[in-house]
A and B are shown apart, each in its own frame.
Chain A
Amino acid sequence: MPTVRFTTALKRFFPSLKEHQVAGATVAEVLEEIEALYPGIRDYVVDEQGRLRQHVNIFLSGELIEDKEALQDKVGEKDEVYVFQALSGG
Chain B
Amino acid sequence: MKLLTGTSKGLVVYHRVSGSWKVDKVHFTGMPVSMVYVDPRTNTWWLGLAHRHWGQKLHFSVDEGQSWQSVPMPRYPEGAEFRPGRPATLKKIWCMQQAGPNRPGGLWLGTEPGGLFYSSDNGRHFELVESLWNHPSRLDENQWFGAGRDYPFIHSIVVDPRDESHVYIAVSCAGVFETRDGGQSWEPRNNGLVAAYLPNPAAEVGHDPHLLLACNANPDVMWQQNHCGIFRTTNGGQSWDNVTGVNGFPNYGFALAIDHEDPEKAWVAPAVSDEMRVAPGLALCTCRTEDGGRTWQAQRNGLPQEHCFDIVFRHSLAKRGPVLAFGTTTGNLYLSEDYGDNWACLSAHLARVDAVTFA
Interface residues of A (CB under 8 A from B): 9-10, 13, 40, 43-45, 47-49, 51, 53, 55-56, 85-86, 88, 90
Contact = CB atoms under 8 A, between A and B. Distances in A.
Given A40-B70, A43-B73, A48-B75, A56 B54 contact: yes
Contacts of A88: 52-53
Contacts of A90: 8, 52
A48 B54 contact: no
A48 B73 CA distance: 9
A13 B78 CA distance: 26
Contacts of A53: 53-55
A67 B51 CA distance: 23
B87 A13 contact: no
Interface string B46-81: 000001111101000000000000101101101000
A45 to B, nearest CB: 8
Given A40-B70, A48-B90, A49-B87, A9 B53 contact: yes
Contacts of A43: 54-55, 57, 72-73
Interface of B: 8, 51-55, 57, 70, 72-73, 75-76, 78, 87, 89-90
A-B residue pairs, 8 tightest by C-beta = A44-B54, A48-B75, A85-B53, A55-B53, A47-B89, A49-B87, A88-B52, A49-B89
A20 B52 CA distance: 25
B70 A48 contact: no
A48 B219 CA distance: 37
A78 B336 CA distance: 63
Query: Which interface residue of B53, B75, B76 has the most chain A CB atoms within 10 A?
Result: B53
Contacts of A45: 54
Given A49-B76, A85-B53, A90-B8, 7 more contacts: A13-B54, A43-B55, A44-B54, A44-B55, A48-B89, A53-B55, A88-B53
A47 B53 contact: no
A53 B53 CA distance: 7
Nearest to B77: A48
- Central interface residue in A47, A51, A85, A90, by most chain B CB within 10 Å: A47
Contacts of B87: 49
B302 to A, nearest CB: 31
A51 B57 CA distance: 17
A48 B76 CA distance: 7
A15 to B, nearest CB: 14
A47 B90 contact: yes
B303 to A, nearest CB: 27
Contacts of B75: 48
B47 to A, nearest CB: 14
A80 to B, nearest CB: 21
B123 to A, nearest CB: 15
A43 B87 CA distance: 17
Given A47-B89, A47-B90, A55 B73 contact: no
Contacts of B90: 47-48
A75 B70 CA distance: 32
Contact of B52 (A10, A40, A51, A55): A55
A70 B259 CA distance: 51
A55 to B, nearest CB: 4
Contacts of A85: 53-54
Contact of B55 (A9, A47, A86): A47
Contacts of B57: 43
A10 B70 CA distance: 15
Contacts of A47: 55, 89-90
17 contacts: A40-B72, A43-B55, A44-B51, A44-B53, A44-B54, A47-B55, A49-B76, A49-B78, A49-B87, A51-B89, A55-B52, A56-B53, A56-B54, A85-B54, A88-B53, A90-B8, A90-B52
